[in-house]
Amino acid sequence: MKIGILVYRMCGIGGTERITAEKINAWIEMFGYEVVLITKNEIDLPAFYHVNEKCKRYNLNIQTKLSGGISQYIKNIPKGLELYKQVKNILEAENIDVLFTNMISIDSLVIPFVKTKIPKISEIHRSNYLYNKKGWLFKNPIISKYDKVVLLNKEEKNYYNLKNLAVIPNFIDDDEFNNSQTIKKNIIISAGRIVVEKQFDHLVDIWFRLSSENPNWEVHIYGDGHSEKLNKKIKELGLETSFKIFPATSEIKSKMQEAKIFVLVSKSEAFPMVLLEAMQA
């Protein structure tokens, strides 16, 4: 069995990148499958999470903007054609048996038509709670051409008018934690990309109301993104000494173990890896 997996990138720090690495490693190490990883816009940067060296890699170096409405869809059409051509060439050259992808937007509409005899699986890593809008009326006929569309929890099936749905939750390596030996600190922790939908500004508001009653506690956020507004709000509310933002880290496991409380304030989630990491710690 030779598996192809097509993603945007593996150099970032996030749940999608981590679960992709976990699956690649499991396919190779536990099942002995061959795996070909295809990244769309990585520009040959190394993967952040460990990927088994037996995994063959291609980078397409196709740069597109995925937000911007219908006008951006139209602008991305030439890039979509380029994606079609390059993926087709790789599938043929490598004799791929099945292709997995977590592509979104126009990219997800191109892939079903690439070498139609090869089974294709679409993985959706976010909740459609916020995105089930009029655009899906024209997406559905194309997305339905995937052999399966994999969602992360059963409730997500309510947001799709598709018959090819399957549910496979995220998973995490079942390491043995000796929490009895971990010295917990008065830390409230959260982690994720610093973007609007993660609503870390809500966490700042919450802590502003609680901080005076809990002077020996701190809030720590680990994540990369647009933190300027968040830092400005923290400073305006005088929380600099107790509310701290750190870069995303590969040591999030140990950071989770040190904290006493994990907080999730996202506007919507499907089944975030960070929640599994918190439960494990």
* pLDDT tens-digit readout, 146-155: 999 999 999 9
pLDDT band at 42 (very low <50, low <70, confident <90, very high): confident
pLDDT single digits (tens) 253-275: 889 999 999 999 999 888 888 99
Taking each continuous run of H as one helix and of E as one strand, the counts in the chain are 9, 11
Q: Comparing 59-73, 77-91, 166-180, 181-195, which segment has the lowest mean pLDDT? A: 59-73
With beta carbons less than 8 A apart as the criterion, state whether 178 and 240 touch: no
Which residues partner with 98 through β-bridges? 3
Domain boundaries, the chain: 2-167, 179-280
Mean pLDDT value across the chain: 89
Q: What is the pTM of this model?
A: 0.85
Instruction: Name which residue leads in pLDDT, 178 or 47.
Output: 47
CATH 3.40.50.2000 at 2-167, yes or no: yes
Distances (CA, A) of 247 to 20, 222, 235: 21, 5, 18
Q: What is the arithmetic mean of pLDDT over 33-54?
A: 89
Q: Which residue has the higher pLDDT, 52 or 173?
A: 52
Averaged pLDDT, 143-163: 93
Q: Is 105 left (phi over 0), alpha (psi -120 to 50) or beta?
A: left
Q: Is the pLDDT of residue 176 over 60?
A: no
CA–CA separation, 171 and 23 (whole Å): 9
Report pLDDT for 218.
Answer: 98
**Structure confidence at residue 105 as a pLDDT band (50, 70, 90):** confident
Quote the percentage of the chain above a pLDDT of 90.
Answer: 61
Q: How confident is the model at residue 167 (pLDDT cuts 50, 70, 90)?
A: very high
pLDDT at 130 over 70: no
Confidence of residue 40 (pLDDT cuts 50, 70, 90): very high
CATH of segment(s) 179-280: 3.40.50.2000
Q: pLDDT confidence of 39, banded at 50, 70, 90? A: very high
Q: What is the DSSP secondary structure assignment for residue 47, as one 8-state letter?
A: P
Domains 2-167 and 179-280 share a fold: yes
Within 10 A of 235 (CB to CB), how many other CB atoms are there? 11
pLDDT beyond 70 at 179: no
- CA dihedral (5, 43, 107, 114) positive or negative: negative
Over 60: is that where the pLDDT of 135 sits? yes
